[in-house]
Amino acid sequence: MIHSNAFLGLCAAAAMLLASSAAHADTLHRQVQRETRMDLPQRGLSMAQVEKRFGAPERKLPVRGGGSRWQPPIHRWVYPGYIVYFEHKIVIHSVADAPVGEHPVR
């Protein structure tokens, strides 16, 4: 009887984990779809090109990294609805903000 209850508990935990993973995958898929429809700065643009085309950011977040050549400085500029990430002075990624009520994928 004890083994049977442990097995049922293990099955329930596995089912919850699978459901959670599927929900995370769906959230990520929706965010990627939203980003493909947005006009975001593309990889390879310089800071000057981004500022010329998209205007000045709302905020420039503190630089991260830069402690060694294996950890280059990462700059983050916040625009309405998205964040642009730069390595040194070149865009490496632009990411849409999570809509209100959705938690960003971590």
Residues 20 and 45 in one domain: no
How many Å apart are CA 96 and CA 40, to the nearest integer? Answer: 9
pTM higher than the cut 0.75: no
Residues 53 and 28 in one domain: no
Q: Which residue type does 12 have?
A: A
pLDDT digits (tens, 9 = 90+) for 18-72: 665 655 565 555 555 556 668 899 999 999 999 999 999 999 999 999 888 889 9
Count structural domains, the chain: 2
Q: Between the CA of residue 32 and those of 42, 65, 71, what are the distances in Å? A: 14, 26, 26
How many Å apart are CA 95 and CA 85, to the nearest integer? Answer: 8
How many Å apart are CA 105 and CA 24, to the nearest integer? Answer: 7
Residues 52 and 90 in one domain: yes
Asked if the structure places residue 106 within a domain, the reply is no
pLDDT digits (tens, 9 = 90+) for 60-74: 999 999 888 889 999
Q: What is the domain extent for residue 83?
A: 41-98
Q: What pLDDT is recorded for position 8?
A: 67
